[in-house]
Amino acid sequence: MTNAADPAIVVVTARPDPGGLTRLFASGVPSLVVTDPGVALAALATKPVDLVLIDAWPGLDAPALIRALRLKPHLAHTSILLIAESDPAEGDPAEARRRGLEAGATDVVLPPLDASDLAIRGRNLIALARAQDAVESQARALTREVERAAAESQEREREIIRRLMLAAEFRDDQAGDHLTRVAGCVLAIADGLGLSEEEGNDIALASTMHDIGKIGVADSILRKPGPLTEPERYEMMQHALRGYRMLHDSPSRLLRLAAEIALTHHERWDGAGYPQGLKGTEIPLPGRITAVADVFDALISARVYKPGWPLERARRFLEEQSGAHFDPDCVAAFLSRWDDVVALVEERPADRAA
Ligand SMILES: [Fe+2]
Ligand SMILES: [Fe+2]
């Protein structure tokens, strides 16, 4: 696209009165007239124009100039009008026309020069260039609009997940911000593992849905203040698979990630976890990360049946269970961000009235 101050037409000519050419079709259009192909290339080095008019003269290698112009990406679609030279020694004008078109000229005018013909072609090419500009800027605007809409719908998806998880938390025996702290610990681990910020954010948000399958567990079990019986424990363990079933066939990438975490957050590195008894790296990384974050926060939080552990005790537990319950890399990543974790969880309720 050209600005008002930039030349809309560049004319390369050796004609003694080049003004006659531009006046034909370009009154009011800023133009730059040059007599040297090198100067033309320099003038067109970075900025597109509406039209390049090459008025060939004996000794000018017009096809070479056209090819050099076409090599510049911003001139790939610019209109180039070639006026083939009128030197009879050049031979067949049709041949000159073919060479010009082959080199990349948009159109070739043959001698003898017909002023009105040239004027019409020139104006058409300028109009074409401007229409193309308009189409391209419309396409760019459309792309921006699509990107904005996609970002907005992504933000809405995240917002809905956050709200749903707030609602789910009311039911569970987990004081208020368990999910927020788990997500914070997940972020710390992801960061410690060197995952990208985007990956970390996705896993953190998806991790908030790890226990969503507990919606199907009866209150009498979910809120039971004492130890669970064997059938109750079995019922409770179903939450992993239920959470997976609720989420796994979603078209949303985030919900599918959440399904994977719901299914695998109770797997153990040593293979003694549930529901599938996966071992080591058979457990998807988001599940391994969430396992560390979830257990850690469960330990340090007060529940109806226990007070919260001091942070150092929970830290020792993670260290002891590294390579047993937990992926050693995830534990190491977590401990490498220990100061952040302490700052994050300090505000938790350490004791809780049931
Ligand atoms: Fe769980
Ligand atoms: Fe949890």
Q: Which ligand is nearest to the CA of 168?
A: 2
| Measured torsion, CA atoms of residues 225, 227, 228, 233, in degrees rounded to the nearest 10 | 110
CA of 280 to the centre of ligand 1 (A): 19
- Which among 346, 296, 290 has a CA at the least distance from the CA of 316? 296
DSSP 283: S
Q: Do residues 254 and 161 make contact, with C-beta atoms less than 8 angstroms apart?
A: yes
Residue 247: CA count within 13 A, CB half-sphere: 28
Q: How far is the CA of 301 from the centre of ligand 1 (A)?
A: 15
CB distance 237 to 274 below 8 Å: yes
H or E element that contains 223: none
Residue 337 Cα to ligand 1 midpoint, Å, equals: 24
For the chain, domain boundaries: 9-143, 172-345
Q: How far, in Å, from the CA of 179 to the mean position of ligand 2? A: 7
Q: Which ligand approaches the C-alpha of residue 211 most closely?
A: 1
Q: What pLDDT does 354 receive? A: 35
Q: What is the largest CA-CA distance in the chain?
A: 106
Alpha carbon of 97 to ligand 2 centroid (Å): 76
Q: Checking DSSP bridges between strand 107-109 and strand 79-83, what pairing results, if any?
A: parallel
Per-chain residues with Cβ under 5 A from ion ligand 2: 211, 294
Cβ distance 92 to 56 under 8 Å?
A: no
Query: From ligand 1's centre to the CA of 208, what distance in Å?
Result: 10
* Rounded distance between C-alpha atoms, residue 55 and residue 148, angstroms: 46
Ligand 1: distance of its center to the CA of 156 in Å?
Answer: 26
Residue 281 Cα to ligand 1 middle (Å)? 19
Rounded-to-integer distance, Cα 288 and Cα 280, Å: 9
Ligand nearest 240 Cα, by number? 1
**Separation of 191 CA from ligand 1 center, angstroms?**
23
Give how far the C-alpha of residue 271 lies from the chain's centroid of Cα atoms, to the nearest Å.
Answer: 36
C-alpha atoms less than 13 angstroms from C-alpha of 255 in its C-beta half-sphere:
17
As assigned by CATH, the class of the 9-143 domain is alpha beta
In one-letter notation, the amino acid at residue 275 is P
Nearest to 69 by CA among 95, 42, 96: 42
Q: Tell me, in angstroms, the distance from the centre of ligand 2 to residue 173's CA.
A: 10
How far apart are alpha carbons 211 and 205 in whole angstroms?
13
The amino acid present at 271, given as its one-letter code, is: G
Distance 114 CA to ligand 2 centre (A): 83
Distance 49 CA to ligand 2 centre (A): 62
Q: How far is the CA of 226 from the centre of ligand 1 (A)?
A: 18
Question: Could you tell me which residues are beta bridge partners of residue 303?
Answer: 306
Beta bridge partners of 13: 55
CA of 22 to the centre of ligand 1 (A): 77
The predicted structure's pLDDT at residue 268:
98
CA distance 277 to 282: 10
- Nearest ligand to the CA atom of 243: 1
Fold of 172-345: Hypothetical protein af1432 (1.10.3210)
pTM: 0.69
C-alpha 50 – ligand 1 centre gap (Å)? 64
Q: Which helix (H) or strand (E) holds 89?
A: none
3-state secondary structure of 79: strand
The set of residues, in sequence order, having a beta carbon less than 8 Å from that of 145 and lying 6+ positions away, is none
pLDDT tens across the length of the chain (354 residues):
445 456 688 999 988 877 777 677 656 677 888 999 999 999 999 888 889 999 998 888 999 999 999 999 888 888 999 998 765 565 677 888 899 999 999 999 888 888 888 888 888 888 888 888 889 899 999 999 999 999 999 999 999 988 888 877 777 655 458 888 999 999 999 999 999 999 999 999 999 999 999 988 888 998 888 889 999 999 999 999 999 999 999 999 999 999 999 999 999 999 999 999 999 999 999 999 999 999 999 999 887 778 899 999 999 999 999 999 999 999 999 999 999 999 998 876 655 433
Q: Which two tokens stand for residue 42?
A: 């320099």
- CA 308, CA 195: separation in Å to the nearest integer? 30
Q: What residues does 32 pair with on adjacent strands? A: 10
Distance 117 CA to ligand 2 centre (A): 79
Distance (Å, whole) CA 152 – CA 160: 12
Who surrounds ion ligand 1 at CB < 5 A? Answer: 211
Q: What are phi and psi of 281, to 5 degrees?
A: -75, 0
Give the ligand whose atoms come closest to the C-alpha of residue 292: 2
SS3 of residue 120 by DSSP: helix
Comparing CA positions, the residue from 248, 243, 158, 164 lying closest to residue 204 is: 158
Do the beta carbons of residue 254 and residue 206 sit within 8 Å?
A: yes
